[in-house]
């Protein structure tokens, strides 16, 4: 891929993240994003035909960054339970270290933008949804209860997101004990 193209798109993504976290989706028009990214409005439309396309691509960009960070340092030869717990911890710590991504994803999941892609993510088990595949692997290998993967994701991510929100509200970081306790609660609830 063209390095200049990648840098320009990332510049647009960074500005979009910043503005959406401050002003929300509706308060972040393409003109404001272009100005903040120091690019012409026409340049944004060259890369993204519409604001909806920009938002959806930004979603996948954030998910890919998250997945790369969360899954890259997990040894796939480790027992499933160990990986389950490591991935969850990496997820929480990633969100706390990347609040711009966390804030954007929180807004995205409650928006009409997500409604447009949600069905494909769950039904088609999008190749880009690494967590879905990991939990599905746990069900198939009989490490996890035979539940709908949507329920497993809700338990796994719901607790992580709630913990991150609590830390943000309290302006604190989770302790090792809290991380271990929370992931043990999840594991004990979904293990076979």
C-alpha span between 179 and 192 (Å, rounded): 21
C-alpha span between 52 and 191 (Å, rounded): 38
Radius of gyration of the chain (CA): 18
Do 127 and 116 touch, CB atoms closer than 8 A? no
DSSP H helical segments within 2-144, as ranges? Answer: 3-23, 30-37, 41-47, 51-72, 80-97, 99-109, 112-123, 130-140
Burial of 129 (0-12, 13-18, 19+ CB in 10 A): buried
Q: Give every CB contact of residue 38 below 8 A, 6+ residues apart in sequence.
A: 11
Domain boundaries, the chain: 1-49, 55-190
> Could you list the pLDDT tens digit for every one of the 192 residues in the chain?
444 557 889 999 999 999 999 999 999 999 999 999 999 999 899 999 999 999 999 998 999 999 999 999 899 999 999 999 999 999 999 999 999 999 999 999 888 888 877 766 655 556 668 898 899 999 999 999 999 988 999 999 999 999 999 999 999 999 999 999 999 999 999 999
Burial of 191 (0-12, 13-18, 19+ CB in 10 A): middle
In this prediction the pTM is: 0.88
C-alpha span between 142 and 65 (Å, rounded): 29
* Matching fold, domains 1-49 and 55-190: no
Specify the CATH class of 55-190 in words.
mainly alpha
Q: What is the dotted CATH code of the domain comprising 1-49?
A: 1.10.10.60
C-alpha span between 34 and 28 (Å, rounded): 10
- Distance, first Cα to last Cα, the chain: 44
């Amino acid at each position: 891929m063209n390095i200049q193209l990648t840098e320009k798109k990332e510049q647009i993504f960074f500005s979009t993240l910043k503005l959406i976290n401050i002003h929300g989706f509706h308060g972040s028009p393409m003109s404001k994003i272009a100005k903040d990214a120091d690019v012409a409005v026409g340049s944004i439309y060259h890369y993204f035909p519409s604001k909806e396309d920009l938002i959806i691509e930004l979603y996948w960009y954030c998910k890919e960054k998250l997945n790369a960070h969360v899954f890259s340092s997990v040894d796939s030869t480790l027992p499933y339970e160990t990986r389950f717990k490591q991935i969850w911890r990496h997820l929480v710590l990633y969100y706390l270290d990347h609040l711009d991504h966390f804030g954007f994803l929180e807004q995205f999941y409650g928006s009409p933008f997500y409604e447009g892609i949600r069905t494909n993510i769950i039904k088609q088990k999008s190749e880009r949804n690494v967590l879905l595949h990991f939990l599905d692997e746990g069900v198939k290998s009989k490490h996890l209860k035979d539940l709908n993967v949507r329920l497993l994701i809700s338990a796994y991510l719901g607790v992580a997101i709630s913990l991150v929100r609590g830390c943000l509200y309290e302006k604190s970081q989770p302790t090792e004990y809290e991380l271990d306790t929370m992931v043990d609660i999840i594991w004990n609830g979904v293990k076979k």
